[in-house]
Amino acid sequence: MVNDLIDLQAVEAAPTIQQAYEEQRVELFAAGYWNDVQVELGLKTRMEILAEEAARPDFSHRLRPEQNAKRSAKGGFGTSKTGSKTKKKKKR
């Protein structure tokens, strides 16, 4: 539905679209992020979006809350909770 509104250049629907994003009712793979929609509707330029994002400490704001939780639970690179046992091949 968001894509249809973008195609129609329905700028007047921007507050409703933003609310749908805030309530996590938009599939990101279909319509992209709210920032992308704002650019498509001509509400902001790509440079304005990039400047806003660059001012933030990290880009985790682009993830949904449940994705942030999964991301922080992973613990980063090189941390493994499972043992790494290797099996030796038997010679015949």
Q: What is the mean pLDDT of residues 14-27?
A: 95
pLDDT at 76: 57
Residue 87 belongs to a domain: no
Q: What is the DSSP string of 17-57?
A: HHHHHHTT-S-HHHH--HHHHHHHTTSS-HHHHHHHHHTSS
Q: State the distance between the two ends of the chain, measured CA to CA, in whole angstroms.
A: 64
Residue 32 belongs to a domain: yes
Q: How confident is the model at residue 88 (pLDDT cuts 50, 70, 90)?
A: low
Q: With contact defined as beta carbons under 8 Å apart, do 10 and 38 qualify?
A: no
Residue 16 belongs to a domain: yes
Q: Is the pLDDT of residue 25 over 80?
A: yes
Residue 81 belongs to a domain: no
Would you say how long the chain is, in residues?
92
Residue 83 belongs to a domain: no
* pTM of the predicted model over 0.85: no
- Which one has a higher pLDDT value, 66 or 31? 31
Residue 84 belongs to a domain: no
Residue 23 belongs to a domain: yes
The count of domains in the chain is: 1
Residue 7 belongs to a domain: yes
Owning domain of residue 47: 2-65
Summary mean pLDDT of the chain: 79
Q: How confident is the model at residue 16 (pLDDT cuts 50, 70, 90)?
A: very high
Per-residue pLDDT tens over the stretch 29-57: 988 999 999 999 999 999 999 888 888 87
